[in-house]
């Protein structure tokens, strides 16, 4: 049982929900990454998703795209990110998830990538452009390293495929809440609540909702149907604006309303 399983086991045994913030490594300078991870843990994050900047993202909205450009202009590399995560693991106790596209992994070398992120204390890996039909190129290495591959489903994923995807792994199922890219949303598809409820009934592992979640009202609404939320663009914006007090208030309100550990 790695840190992801342990975290959800504790949350579920206490009937509590998970809050996973997303940050883009290198935005604000790579040397700020350890400090930002520490801040998020202190504010009550259950785990943290760390994004790797990529020149051709397929799932990222304007906020994260711009953060990625800033990070790349700062000279951020996958190797540099992994080195900073290794430093962070000395002081961070919660799970760390690395989100990257497949091309940077190929360029880095699959075996070396898995070896290095294991050494850095990474607990899970999210690869949005890796379909389950092709994941055998990396899953054996990840399983041997005890790193969870976090898989995604969307509103357009057929239920039979949801069953297949959710039957794999022991981390959590990332359920995309919008038909499109990341970014703050004011409203959701009318079918979202039922979809989350159905996915929750199907999935043998915890279900997390992500994409477009930015307010405590949205978080409270969605967590009625799943095990927690992943918040990206809002967190990226608040770090860029130095809005730490607003970030702390947002996470604190979630903790109170959903009884987060």
**Active-site residues: which are they?**
49, 60
- Distance in angstroms between the alpha carbons of the first and the last residue of the chain: 19
Distance, in Å, from the CA atom of 79 to the CA atom of 232, rounded to the nearest integer, reads 22
Tokens of 229: 């939320």
Q: What is the H or E stretch that residue 163 is in? A: helix 159-166
Comparing CA positions, the residue from 203, 221, 232 lying closest to residue 126 is 232
Backbone CA torsion sign across 133, 138, 144, 147: negative
Instruction: Give the chain's radius of gyration (CA, Å).
Output: 17
Tokens of 124: 């899970």
Asked whether the beta carbons of 236 and 183 are under 8 A apart, the reply is no
Distance, in Å, from the CA atom of 54 to the CA atom of 61, rounded to the nearest integer, reads 13
Q: Is 93 exposed, middle or buried (0-12, 13-18, 19+ CB in 10 A)?
A: exposed
């Amino acid at each position: 049982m790695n840190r992801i399983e342990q975290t959800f086991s504790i949350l579920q045994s206490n009937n509590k929900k998970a809050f996973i913030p997303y940050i883009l490594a290198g935005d604000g300078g790579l040397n700020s990454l350890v400090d930002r991870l520490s801040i998020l843990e202190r504010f009550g994050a259950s785990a943290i998703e760390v994004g790797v900047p990529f020149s051709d993202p397929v799932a990222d909205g304007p906020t994260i795209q711009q953060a990625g450009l800033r990070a790349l202009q700062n000279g951020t590399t996958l190797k540099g990110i992994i080195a900073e995560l290794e430093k962070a693991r000395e002081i961070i106790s919660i799970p760390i998830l690395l989100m990257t596209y497949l091309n940077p992994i190929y360029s880095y070398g699959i075996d070396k990538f898995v070896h290095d992120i294991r050494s850095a204390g990474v607990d899970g890996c999210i690869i949005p452009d890796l379909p389950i039909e092709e994941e055998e190129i990396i899953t054996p290495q990840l399983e041997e390293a005890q790193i969870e591959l976090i898989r995604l489903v969307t509103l357009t994923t057929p239920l039979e495929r949801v069953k297949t995807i959710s039957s794999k792994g022991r981390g959590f199922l990332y359920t995309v809440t919008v038909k499109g890219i990341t970014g703050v949303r004011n409203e959701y598809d009318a079918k979202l609540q039922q979809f989350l409820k159905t996915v929750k009934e199907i999935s043998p592992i915890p279900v997390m909702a992500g994409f477009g979640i930015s307010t405590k009202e949205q978080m409270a609404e969605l967590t009625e149907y799943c095990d927690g939320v992943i918040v990206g663009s809002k967190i990226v914006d608040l770090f860029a604006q130095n809005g730490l007090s607003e970030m702390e208030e947002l996470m604190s309100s979630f903790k109170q309303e959903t009884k987060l550990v």
